[in-house]
């Protein structure tokens, strides 16, 4: 499995000082140069930056999505067993139509708790909200219920 991160997760976890959770949960993570540029901060060495090779798919994706998400989805077409980390609803819908497995930033937190990397999701969820990461109340409650913190 190759984990491909879009900018929203990278930015959110950087903003709360917990980017290392991605490495702890998944080991290596990859992204594209477009996503790396959107992040606007230097990424650690365990995040590989890989160019999209198939420009036709990339161009097609850009007609539906913004550049970072388009590049992440285009890269997913080029690798074996991708797992996309996407928060944007439109990008998630495209990924689902293409049968790509997806997880969001909150799913990463759930997985971190399940693996015993963090003791609780709620404090990080609150920290994300404090840095303007948008989470609906319905989604917040659903996540907290799944991890036994509601």
pLDDT number for residue 55: 87
Residues of the chain predicted below pLDDT 50: none
130 and 117, same domain (yes or no): yes
pLDDT number for residue 37: 96
Residues 82-93 have pLDDT tens digits of 999 999 999 999
Please report where in the chains the tokens 């290392």 appear, as a residue. 20
CA distances from 112 to 28, 43, 89, 124, 130 (A): 15, 20, 22, 11, 20
The domain in which residue 140 lies consists of 106-146
22 and 95, same domain (yes or no): yes
pTM over 0.85: yes
The domain that holds 66 is classified in CATH as 3.40.50.1010
């Amino acid at each position: 499995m190759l984990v491909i991160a879009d900018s929203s997760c990278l930015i959110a976890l950087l903003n709360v000082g917990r980017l290392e959770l991605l490495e702890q949960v998944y080991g290596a993570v990859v992204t594209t140069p477009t996503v790396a540029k959107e992040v606007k901060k230097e990424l650690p060495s365990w995040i590989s930056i890989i160019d999209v090779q198939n420009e036709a798919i990339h161009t097609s994706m850009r007609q539906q999505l913004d550049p970072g998400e388009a590049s992440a989805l285009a890269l997913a077409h080029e690798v074996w067993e991708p797992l996309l980390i996407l928060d944007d609803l439109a990008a998630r819908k495209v990924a689902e139509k293409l049968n790509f497995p997806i997880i969001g930033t909150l799913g990463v937190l759930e997985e971190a708790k399940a693996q015993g990397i963090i003791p609780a999701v709620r404090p990080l969820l609150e920290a994300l909200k404090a840095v303007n990461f948008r989470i609906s109340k319905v989604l917040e409650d659903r996540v907290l219920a799944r991890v036994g913190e509601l």
